[in-house]
Structure 1
Amino acid sequence: MNAPVLVLNTNTKRENGRKAQLANIMAGKTVADLIRTCLGPKSMLKMLIDPQAGVTITSDGNSVLRDLTVEHPAAKYMIELSRTQDETVGDGTTSVVILCGEVLQVAEPWIQKGIHPTIIISGFLDALEDALKSLHEISTTIDLSDPKIVSGVVKSCIGTTFMNTWNDILCKLAIEAVTICAGGDLMKAKGKEDIDTKRYARVEKIAGGDFSESMVIKGVVLNKDVVHSKMRRRIVKPRVVLLDCSLEYTKGESQTDVEVTTATDFGKLIELEEQYVKRLCENIIRVKPDLVITEKGISDIAQHYLQKAGISALRRARKNDNLRLARATGASIVYRTEDLKETDVGIAGLFEVKKIGDEYYAFISECEKSTACTILLRGGSKDVLNEVERNLQDAMASCKNLIARPELVPGGGASEMHIATTLSKKAKNIEGKKQWPYSSIAVAMEVIPRTLAANCGVDVVKVITELRAKHISNKENSTFGIDGMKGTIVDMKELGVWEPYEVKAQCIKTAIEAACTLLRVDDVVSGIKNENSGQQQNQMGTQQATMMPQVE
């Protein structure tokens, strides 16, 4: 067995020192340039073709990067950066990669001039600390009880997406879903960081119909029909039992042997099976439910007994659907029918099976104390619905961030330009070589307003120069930024474009720290086995073996 040979996965030579740092910077810049046009309301779309020849059209930075196939380790690290941002705060996935790429770009001249990476990183981290302080200065706390303010923030977050035509509907759906998951009141949930919309706010996409028919259902929607044709398909205020056990005869393991000697023995076996299933059904009927939902199967005999007792049943529900049903109805998931008690039974407002298109959907809705919901999306095609879902997830993430920390900063690149002008002033008071990388962060922060202006097709140099002059002249102009639709300089207060503080702070922090990590790398090696090297080693070993003298 050949030992792995250390090789660089892009070139045949090993890269170290300054070469490795410059190669990583180049890879980071390439990834950032790829999604630069995806920023802002005038963003361009990317067409992604997956290995199965499926096509996805989107402007969501995380979706674009997630489907990329890259070989360079630094490029992979940049893609991981976007995924981390999405999992942490759910928004700013494009901005964080663009900013990180720009930070790497401004570090390149100092690397080439021979300044040690440790000095550059030290300057960057000092600038990061001052940038976060500067960002906090222009943040404003909001009142979550005012629906207009919350709605305005969520609208500005999804206004940069392809689906900004349906801003109002998307915003309403997102806020309603998060409110349900938060317990019904945003003010009471203030400061909560554990609102799990990914698990308890499920998106059900049904192609066909108009987007205006989309709604949030306070409960759960399952793509299922009742197991027996005579079972009730509509029940008002049903008593619900949730099971994680099978309502059919449990077959023996492979070691079990049954010997049938007479003609009546086989009939007795079937009779025992029926008695076992009947006993399971009697345990359920004892608590008088109207609806039974299980994660396992339901045999024909069990269907007969349940239907006879007037009970509707759904089978093979997914585990996460059962967990959401438990939160919606207040029922407990039971693993043995013998353990069923009255306290395990939940209550829903309405159970109804509807046929939409060719599919049957079971609605368990109008649950009063539900902390789980289903967002029903209607649209023309699956591609459109997939893009709507991506934008809806961003909107819900923005709403969650507001609950965790109800602070806002101006959008449209105003926050970045304020940080840039503040760092430029402070850089003059720093002594030594550290001043250069410190001031470079001020230049890098301008990439967001610059990209917004570029995507609008205006004269970038002229607009950015005017905006910078406005910020330097007066501190009160710190809310001025770029109108993403027209490319003009406007006051974000008047335009109503705000971003959650949590998203912006996380974006700046992640981008600069990731750039510092890449600059620390001074050697790129690989433990991947090189087949050619292995063959050469085998040949050398054979030659050595033939040259060895024979011992008698």
Structure 2
Amino acid sequence: MHAPVLVLRDSLKRESGRKVHHANIQAAKAVADIIRTTLGPRSMLKMLLDASGGIVVTNDGNAILRELDLAHPAAKSMIKLSRTQDEEVGDGTTSVIVLGGEMLHVAEAFIEKNYHPTVICRAYSKALEDAIAVIDKIAMSIDVNDRPTMLGLVKSCIGTKFTSQFGDLIADLAIDATSIVGVDLGQGMREVDIKKYIKVEKVPGGQLEDSKVLKGVMFNKDVVAPGKMKRKIVNPRIILLDCPVEYKKGENQTNAELVREEDWEVLLKMEEEYIENMCAQILKLKPDLVITEKGLSDLACHYLSKAGVSAIRRLRKTDNNRIAKACGATIVNRPDELQESDVGTGAGLFEVKKIGDEFFAFIVDCKDPKACTVLLRGASKDLLNEVERNLQDAMSVARNILRIQNSFLVGVLQN
């Protein structure tokens, strides 16, 4: 007789059969019960402590489940289900968990009657096909230019959330923002990239009613030399760079051995000439504003301010891309490759304003912007974080309507 072959370590335990089915169902129901009270018109907000010790106050299913540290594999699958729903649809993260938990609860009775799990799964797949067929029948086309209908649909997704008490405010912001960044692809198709081209800027202070959609871009930066450079320019010519406007440094530690004292002056002179040439190439196109993602030396700042040009340095790549989309500029890698077509002339106003203790640069009143900023004002950061989560859900729904231009009838009836 052969000796038994041990595949698993002694410390590991393998379970199978009906006991595991019941354990998985109980774990999924436990996850569903955690967020069940956040669904519906009498939904409650949950208060959580996140990993960094901050407070999260929300009734968004995905935001709550994201903070949970679970060990059970079935419970982890439920959290992944919520995350997938958030990425693909943007709304309904709580509903899918509650629905999933309930479906497993109903399946438990069939397992007790000795139905095989694959038979139950096939039955649910058939039910899915029937549900999709019914939805296709009762779905109705939507005119995306009909504002009241769009408002009704978007409001249906935030009706049970914290911001529903502010009326149409969040729905209006979501529709305005998604309408600005929508790009027609032809054949009735429309691309709306809310992650790349809509930035939500949260500034504590003021009232939530002061929130608005800017036809352009706003970012937390000031000009390099506030005393010498203009903070307000009407119809600015904008140049965007992603290269440093300073003397090129050696990649590693660079040593230069100088024999004579005059050589040091020659070295400094070469550095100055290099920066002067670079600034001359930029100033040749008569810009009013130069923005770079990298550094900008004091000498370059001097030449630019002397020519009456404002400059902003070390801007994020994502913000630079949004400015390019908003004002029609092209991001250039080298100043000597600059052309007239690279200059952005679509912006109506560049202005630096102080809000609270910080300076914010605004490039607004753009002619045909394909990027925008939603400025949110409110009493505290916790409040603004929850408003942002609600706004993201509303924008996702507005994006889906603009993209598909077809809506499930219940969305209107629910409202």
| Contact 2:90–2:397, Cα closer than 8 Å, also in 1 | yes
Aligned equivalent of 1:265: 263
Output the CA distance in 1 between the equivalents of 2:314 and 2:176: 29
Output the CA distance in 1 between the equivalents of 2:276 and 2:197: 35
SS at match of 1:35: helix
Match of 1:208 among 205, 210, 216: 205
Output the CA distance in 1 between the equivalents of 2:101 and 2:363: 48
**What is the correspondence of 1:96-245 to structure 2 with a 5 Å cutoff?**
96-183=96-183, 191-192=189-190, 194-229=191-226, 230-245=228-243
Residues 1:291 and 2:252 aligned together: no
SS at match of 2:315: coil
Output the CA distance in 1 between the equivalents of 2:67 and 2:389: 14
Over residues 467-492 of structure 1, what are the superposed CA-to-partner deviations in whole Å (9 max), with x where a residue is unaligned?
xxxxxxxxxxxxxxxxxxxxxxxxx7
Aligned equivalent of 2:279: 281
Following superposition, the deviation at residue 51 of structure 1 comes to: 2.4
| Contact 2:139–2:408, Cα closer than 8 Å, also in 1 | yes
Aligned equivalent of 1:456: none
Residues 1:305 and 2:303 aligned together: yes
| Contact 1:219–1:365, Cα closer than 8 Å, also in 2 | yes
Aligned equivalent of 1:394: 393
Following superposition, the deviation at residue 130 of structure 1 comes to: 0.8
Output the CA distance in 1 between the equivalents of 2:26 and 2:155: 35
| Contact 1:158–1:167, Cα closer than 8 Å, also in 2 | no
Aligned equivalent of 1:329: 327
Output the CA distance in 2 between the equivalents of 1:363 and 1:189: 35
Over residues 408-429 of structure 1, what are the superposed CA-to-partner deviations in whole Å (9 max), with x where a residue is unaligned?
33548xxxxxxxxxxxxxxxxx
Output the CA distance in 1 between the equivalents of 2:10 and 2:167: 50
Letter in 1 for 2:47: M
| Contact 1:293–1:313, Cα closer than 8 Å, also in 2 | yes
SS at match of 1:298: coil
- Alpha carbons of 1:358 and 1:341: their partners in 2 closer, same or farther (altered >3 Å)? same
| Contact 2:51–2:67, Cα closer than 8 Å, also in 1 | no
Percent identity over paired residues: 54
Residues 1:408 and 2:407 aligned together: yes
Following superposition, the deviation at residue 4 of structure 1 comes to: 10
Stretches of structure 2 lacking an aligned partner (at least 5 in a row):
1-5
Stretches of structure 1 lacking an aligned partner (at least 5 in a row):
413-491, 499-552
The higher relative CO (CA closer than 8 Å, separation ≥ 6) is in 1
Aligned equivalent of 2:252: 254
Output the CA distance in 2 between the equivalents of 1:370 and 1:212: 24
Output the CA distance in 2 between the equivalents of 1:137 and 1:131: 10
* Count of residues paired in the alignment: 408
Output the CA distance in 2 between the equivalents of 1:105 and 1:269: 78
Following superposition, the deviation at residue 262 of structure 1 comes to: 1.9
TM-score computed with the length of structure 2 as normaliser = 0.94
Residues 1:357 and 2:356 aligned together: yes
Following superposition, the deviation at residue 140 of structure 1 comes to: 2.2
Aligned equivalent of 1:82: 82
Aligned equivalent of 1:471: none
SS at match of 2:162: coil
Letter in 1 for 2:385: N
Aligned equivalent of 1:508: none
Following superposition, the deviation at residue 177 of structure 1 comes to: 0.2
Following superposition, the deviation at residue 21 of structure 1 comes to: 2.1
| Contact 1:7–1:14, Cα closer than 8 Å, also in 2 | no
| Contact 2:293–2:317, Cα closer than 8 Å, also in 1 | yes
Aligned CA-pair RMSD = 2.0
Output the CA distance in 1 between the equivalents of 2:57 and 2:187: 36
Output the CA distance in 2 between the equivalents of 1:6 and 1:120: 33
Letter in 1 for 2:281: N
| Contact 1:222–1:361, Cα closer than 8 Å, also in 2 | yes
Aligned equivalent of 2:3: none
TM-score computed with the length of structure 1 as normaliser = 0.71
SS at match of 1:180: helix
Tell me which structure has the larger Cα radius of gyration: 1
| Contact 2:240–2:332, Cα closer than 8 Å, also in 1 | yes
| Contact 1:244–1:334, Cα closer than 8 Å, also in 2 | yes
Aligned equivalent of 1:485: none
Output the CA distance in 1 between the equivalents of 2:107 and 2:379: 47
Letter in 2 for 1:353: V
Letter in 1 for 2:133: K
Over residues 106-151 of structure 1, what are the superposed CA-to-partner deviations in whole Å (9 max), with x where a residue is unaligned?
1112122221112111111111111111222322222222111001
Over residues 355-386 of structure 1, what are the superposed CA-to-partner deviations in whole Å (9 max), with x where a residue is unaligned?
01110000001111111000001110001100
Following superposition, the deviation at residue 163 of structure 1 comes to: 1.4
| Contact 2:140–2:409, Cα closer than 8 Å, also in 1 | no
